[in-house]
Amino acid sequence: MFKYLKSRRILAALTTMLTVSTASIAQDPAATGEGQPSLFYTNTTFVIVLLLCLLFMVIAYLLYRVKSHLDKIIDDQTEGGRELTRYERIIKPWLKTLNPTITSLLIGTSFGLVAFVQGYKFGMTEVGVQKGYSPTQPINYSHKVHAGKLQIDCKYCHSTATKSKQASIPSANTCMNCHKYITLRDKYDGKVSPEISKIYKAIGWDPEANAYIPNYKQKPIEWVRIHNLPDLSYFNHSQHVVAGKVECQTCHGPIQEMDKVSQFSSLQMEWCINCHKERSVDVANNKYYEDLHKRLKIEGKTVYTVADNGGLECGKCHY
Ligand code: HEC
Ligand code: HEC
Ligand code: HEC
Ligand code: HEC
Ligand code: HEC
């Protein structure tokens, strides 16, 4: 192999590889997240791509060695005098003109790229970029019934959304405020609704005796989490719901029409950024911005976006 390792050629091949991989990754819409510069494509990922290429190069070289060995055996076994096949006349001489090192490099790069792009896509879904994600929940609970038909306020159940980072899922006790009495027996021929029974099972309520079962070992209802940001990012509900006055539906969609919740927004970084660029902060009617409002009035500025307020600073959303 080493007789092919002429440094100038290797350099040229490496340069091509570099440009090819950078260019194709830059063009790949999955890798760049619809036109934004890809933050994923860092030095580390490039080193990984390089290592992958090297690995494929070694494999290609080994295969090449095995093939030449087999060719040699076949050549030794077959005597001359027979008519050459199409492969022997055209393809074989052409293959011989190729530099195996550069060929392996090219093959290696292609494999490396495919593996990289596939791996990236896999990573995206694993991390939770799942618009439309709608898992089956342990209880067939419907927002369409509770938030839509019954018009229960979102904050009745997701009470921490106005006070803290998390909106949180209500405990079974919240359900019991109503379901102690609402069993829907008339709908199920005198029996308790099977779905509501699951709440009773979790909390230890005996609907026949109309009482909690003593010393019952309660087990929380294991709701499957739908919206999930990676640990590297910071999102705060009260900041958006109270200070930012953003409606739940702006981010979560028409939840009150969903029998089964599904993820409405991508929750990707550009989604956050786009809103922060466009959305103006209502500083005039918000006690959080009294000082700022006074200052802006002096400066004569009327539109004030989240971005103006530092909403594009990396540190605001990343620890
Ligand atoms: C009666 C209580 C109740 C009310 C009212 C309610 N929710 Fe929920 N919400 C739940 C429960 C229970 C879950 C978990 C099960 C599920 O995902 O369906 C949930 C899940 C969610 C989720 C998905 C959470 C996740 O796992 O990522 C969102 C978003 C949500 N609710 C938003 C809202 C909005 C917006 C409203 C008002 C329009 C609302 N909810 C009203 C009880 C309620
Ligand atoms: C500015 C966009 C935005 C608004 C407004 C918003 N949410 Fe969320 N919500 C998110 C994001 C992003 C997540 C994922 C958070 C995470 O993984 O840390 C989330 C997660 C949730 C969850 C599940 C996880 C948790 O935080 O406990 C619930 C429930 C929820 N939101 C309900 C609500 C309700 C109810 C409202 C309105 C009172 C609301 N959200 C308003 C963006 C928003
Ligand atoms: C404010 C009162 C109230 C709260 C709180 C409440 N529910 Fe309900 N729920 C109802 C009413 C009323 C119905 C019947 C609605 C109908 O069928 O029109 C119902 C129906 C249901 C059903 C449908 C049962 C069937 O067989 O059709 C399920 C399941 C259910 N609730 C689960 C829950 C869960 C889980 C919680 C807690 C997260 C909860 N509910 C909180 C009032 C409430
Ligand atoms: C629909 C519009 C909208 C979306 C989507 C949105 N935000 Fe915001 N965000 C706001 C508004 C409005 C404010 C202003 C509230 C304030 O100044 O405290 C804000 C403020 C913030 C702040 C405080 C900025 C500061 O200067 O104090 C952080 C941090 C933040 N958002 C993070 C996020 C993250 C992370 C996401 C995505 C997961 C996101 N936001 C998505 C509208 C949005
Ligand atoms: C408004 C909030 C916000 C701001 C400002 C922000 N990010 Fe992010 N960033 C996020 C969120 C949310 C994610 C997670 C997105 C996901 O799940 O794919 C993220 C993901 C990332 C990732 C992981 C790779 C990816 O694309 O998923 C990197 C790297 C990153 N951000 C770097 C930065 C840098 C550098 C800046 C400053 C120029 C910045 N971020 C500013 C919200 C923000």
Return the best residue to mutate from 136, 140, 150, 180 for the ligand 3 pocket (most ligand atoms within 8 A of CB): 150
* Averaged pLDDT for residues 73-101: 77
Of all ligands present, the nearest one to the C-alpha of 308 is 4
> How many CB atoms lie under 10 A from the CB of residue 127?
15
Contact 99, 9 (CB under 8 A): yes
**187: Cβ contacts below 8 Å, ≥ 6 apart:** 193
**Nearest protein CA to atom 13 of ligand 5, as residue:** 269
Q: How confident is the model at residue 308 (pLDDT cuts 50, 70, 90)?
A: confident
User: Where do the structural domains in the chain lie, given as residue ranges?
Assistant: 2-127
2-6, 158-162, 303-307: least confidently modelled range: 2-6
Cα atoms in the Cβ-side hemisphere of radius 13 Å centred on 212: 10
What is the rounded CA–CA span in Å between residue 10 and residue 3? 12
Find the 240 Cα to ligand 4 centroid distance in Å: 6
Reported as a single tens digit per residue, the pLDDT across 208-232 is: 999 999 999 999 999 999 999 998 9
Tokens of 118: 């596939």
Cα(117)–Cα(28) distance, integer angstroms: 8
Cβ pair 174, 221 in contact under 8 A: no
In this structure, the residues whose C-beta lies within 6 A of any atom of ligand 4 are 229, 233, 235, 239-240, 243-244, 246, 250-251, 267, 271-272, 275-276, 279, 281, 306, 309-311, 316-317
Instruction: Please choose, from the candidates 151, 216, 157, 211, the residue with its C-alpha nearest in 3D space to the C-alpha of residue 180.
Output: 211
Query: Which ligand neighbours the alpha carbon of 40 most closely?
Result: 5
Q: Which amino acid is at 110?
A: S
- Closest ligand 1 atom to Cα of 139: 15
Determine if ligand 3 sits within 6 Å of the CB of residue 139: yes
Tens digits of per-residue pLDDT, 166-182? Answer: 999 999 999 999 999 99
- Quick one: which atom of ligand 1 is closest to the CA of 258? 18
Q: Which residue has the higher pLDDT, 194 or 288?
A: 194
Ligand 1 probe mutation, 255, 262, 264, most atoms within 8 A of CB: 255
Report the candidate in 170, 167, 185, 180 with the shortest Cα–Cα distance to residue 139.
170
